[in-house]
Amino acid sequence: MLAEDAHGAIAEFQKMLKHRGLLFKNPEGALARLGLARVCSFGDKVMASAPYKELLELWKGSDPDLPILKEAQAEYARLN
């Protein structure tokens, strides 16, 4: 991934997440957090940690066998 692409993606995900009231219970909010975490994990693992934590907190009562949740948990574990 090119650095300018990553910076652009980070900016777009952050724009989405600024509208927390619109995204709180919607899947788009969770997916924006996951996207932000994934993009950040390419360069800044510390910055990637916060969106992963937020996502996993939002999904703590979800079906533990949900594939995207398992992926996010594994990705978060690899950061540490």
Residue 2 has pLDDT above 60, yes or no: no
Q: Quick check: pTM over 0.85?
A: no
The answer to whether the beta carbons of residues 41 and 75 sit under 8 Å apart is yes
- What local confidence, expressed as pLDDT, does residue 3 receive? 64
The pLDDT tens digits for 3-59 are 668 888 888 888 888 876 766 667 888 888 999 999 999 888 888 999 999 999 988
The structural domains of the chain, with segments of one domain joined by +, span: 3-79
- What local confidence, expressed as pLDDT, does residue 78 receive? 94
Dist CA 79 CA 52 (whole Å):
10
Q: What is the mean pLDDT of residues 59-66?
A: 92
Instruction: Report, in angstroms and rounded to the nearest whole number, the Rg of the chain calculated over CA atoms.
Output: 12
How far from 19 is each of 29, 34, 44, 68, CA to CA, in Å?
A: 9, 16, 24, 23
Task: Take residue 41 and report the two structure tokens written for it.
Answer: 């994990």
